[in-house]
Amino acid sequence: MFNLIKLGLPKSKTFGVGLLVSVLQGLSAVALLATSAWLISRAAEHPPVMYLMIAVVGVRGFALGRSAFRYAERIFLHDAAFRMLSTTRPRIFRKLIPFAPAGLGFESRGDILTKIGADTDSLQNLPLRVIAPLVQAGVVALLTVLGVAVLLPSAAIIFLLTVLTAAFIALPISSAVSKQAERKQADTLAKHASKSLDYMEHLDILVAYGWIDSALRELKKIDEVSLVHAKQKALSAGVGQALFSITATLATIGTSYFGAQSVSQGSQPGVMLAVFVLVPLALFDVFLTLQPVMNSWRIYKASAMRISEIETRNIPDVLKPGFGTKTLSGFTSLELNDISIAYPTGGAVLDRVSFKLSAGETLAITGPSGSGKSTLALALVRFLSLQSGSYLINGKLVDEYSEDSIHRTIGLVEQNPNVFLGNVRDNLLLAKQDATDAEIWKVLQKVGLHEIFSLRQGLTTELGDRGVLISGGEAQRLALARALLADFSVIILDEPTANVDQIYGFQLVSELLTAAKEESNRAIVLITHDSNLSSLANQQISL
Partner 1 sequence: MVALATLGTSATVVFAWQLSALVTKIFILGNSIGDVYFQLMTISIAGLVKAAVIWAQELLSSRAATSVKIELRSKFYLAIKTLRSGWLNNQSAAELNLLATTGLDSLDSYFAKFLPQLVYAVLVTPLLVILIWLQDAASGVALVATLPLIPVFMILIGWATNNAQEKQLDSLTRLTQHFLEVLRGLTTLRIFGRAEVQVKTITSASEQYRVRTMKVLRITFLSGFALELLSSLSVALIAVSIGLRLVNDEISLLVGLFVLILAPEVYLPVRQVGAQFHAAAEGVTASKKVLDILDLASEVSRAGASNNPDYEGLDCDFEAGKLTVITGPSGIGKSTIFRNLLGLDSPVQSQKLHLVSWMPQQASLLSGTVLQNILGFDSSFNEPAVENKALVLAMQMAALDDLQLQDQVGVDASQVSGGQAQRISLARAFYRALTLGTPYLLLDEPISAIDSVRASVVVTSLKSFAANGTAVAVISHQEQLIRAAERVIEVADV
Per CB under 8 A, the list member of 118, 142, 146, 288 interacting with partner 1 is 118
User: Minimal distance in Å, beta carbon 277 to partner 1?
Assistant: 6
User: Residues 60-89 vs partner 1: string with x where CB under 8 A?
Assistant: x-xxx-xxx-xx--xx--xx--xx-xxx-x
Under the binding rule (CB under 8 A), the answer on residue 101 touching partner 1 is yes
Under the binding rule (CB under 8 A), the answer on residue 122 touching partner 1 is no
Nearer residue to partner 1 within complex by CB, 83 or 425? 83
Nearer residue to partner 1 within complex by CB, 113 or 392? 113
Per CB under 8 A, the list member of 164, 186, 216, 302 interacting with partner 1 is 216
Nearer residue to partner 1 within complex by CB, 5 or 263? 263
Instruction: With CA atoms as reference, report the closest residue to 411 among 440, 432, 380.
Output: 380
Under the binding rule (CB under 8 A), the answer on residue 230 touching partner 1 is yes
Distances (CA, A) of 63 to 60, 66, 125: 5, 5, 29
User: Minimal distance in Å, beta carbon 165 to partner 1?
Assistant: 13
Under the binding rule (CB under 8 A), the answer on residue 315 touching partner 1 is no
- Its sign, for the CA torsion 322, 331, 484, 504, is negative
Per CB under 8 A, the list member of 117, 147, 292, 324 interacting with partner 1 is 117
Under the binding rule (CB under 8 A), the answer on residue 518 touching partner 1 is no
How far apart, in whole angstroms, are the C-alpha atoms of residue 516 and residue 260?
91
User: Residues 473-502 vs partner 1: string with x where CB under 8 A?
Assistant: ---------x---x---------------x
Instruction: With CA atoms as reference, report the closest residue to 114 among 127, 96, 88.
Output: 96
User: Minimal distance in Å, beta carbon 139 to partner 1?
Assistant: 20
How far apart, in whole angstroms, are the C-alpha atoms of residue 35 and residue 415?
69
How far apart, in whole angstroms, are the C-alpha atoms of residue 498 and residue 479?
13
How far apart, in whole angstroms, are the C-alpha atoms of residue 162 and residue 247?
6
User: Minimal distance in Å, beta carbon 439 to partner 1?
Assistant: 15
Do residues 444 and 522 lie in contact, with contact meaning Cβ atoms separated by under 8 Å?
A: no
Span interacting with partner 1, options 132-140, 244-252, 347-355, 514-522, rule CB under 8 A: 244-252
Per CB under 8 A, the list member of 224, 317, 437, 451 interacting with partner 1 is 224
Nearer residue to partner 1 within complex by CB, 47 or 338? 47
Cα–chain-centroid distance for residue 494? 28
Distances (CA, A) of 275 to 35, 261, 493, 498: 8, 14, 77, 73
Per CB under 8 A, the list member of 207, 305, 315, 397 interacting with partner 1 is 207
Per CB under 8 A, the list member of 184, 202, 425, 450 interacting with partner 1 is 202
Nearer residue to partner 1 within complex by CB, 237 or 359? 237
Helix axes 53-96, 13-44, angle to 10 degrees: 160
Number of residues that bind partner 1 (CB under 8 A): 134
Distances (CA, A) of 517 to 49, 190, 361, 520, 522: 96, 48, 9, 6, 6
Pick out residues in 248-287 that bind partner 1 (CB under 8 A): 248-250, 252-253, 256-257, 260-261, 263-264, 270-271, 273-274, 277-278, 281
Under the binding rule (CB under 8 A), the answer on residue 246 touching partner 1 is yes
- Its sign, for the CA torsion 488, 494, 500, 502, is positive
Instruction: With CA atoms as reference, report the closest residue to 124 among 175, 86, 71.
Output: 86
Nearer residue to partner 1 within complex by CB, 253 or 351? 253
CA dihedral of residues 64, 65, 71, 75 (deg, nearest 10): 150
Per CB under 8 A, the list member of 149, 154, 218, 472 interacting with partner 1 is 218
- DSSP-derived pairing of the beta strands 410-413 and 348-358: unpaired
Nearer residue to partner 1 within complex by CB, 231 or 356? 231
User: Residues 425-464 vs partner 1: string with x where CB under 8 A?
Assistant: -----xx---------------------------------
Q: How many other CB atoms are there within 10 angstroms of residue 371's CB atom?
A: 16
Sheet holding 396-397, edge to edge: 348-358, 333-342, 388-393, 396-397
User: Minimal distance in Å, beta carbon 532 to partner 1?
Assistant: 12
User: Minimal distance in Å, beta carbon 338 to partner 1?
Assistant: 26
Nearer residue to partner 1 within complex by CB, 1 or 49? 49
- Its sign, for the CA torsion 393, 399, 405, 410, is positive
User: Minimal distance in Å, beta carbon 485 to partner 1?
Assistant: 10
Under the binding rule (CB under 8 A), the answer on residue 198 touching partner 1 is yes
Per CB under 8 A, the list member of 9, 20, 40, 543 interacting with partner 1 is 40
Nearer residue to partner 1 within complex by CB, 100 or 539? 100
How far apart, in whole angstroms, are the C-alpha atoms of residue 452 and residue 441?
12
Q: Is 387 helix (H, G, I), strand (E, B) or coil?
A: coil
Span interacting with partner 1, options 156-164, 199-207, 449-457, 513-521, rule CB under 8 A: 199-207
Nearer residue to partner 1 within complex by CB, 200 or 438? 200
User: Minimal distance in Å, beta carbon 202 to partner 1?
Assistant: 5
Instruction: With CA atoms as reference, report the closest residue to 21 among 63, 81, 67.
Output: 67
Helix (H) or strand (E) holding 409: helix 403-409
Pick out residues in 381-420 that bind partner 1 (CB under 8 A): 381, 383, 404, 407-408, 411-412, 414, 417-418, 420
How far apart, in whole angstroms, are the C-alpha atoms of residue 328 and residue 406?
7
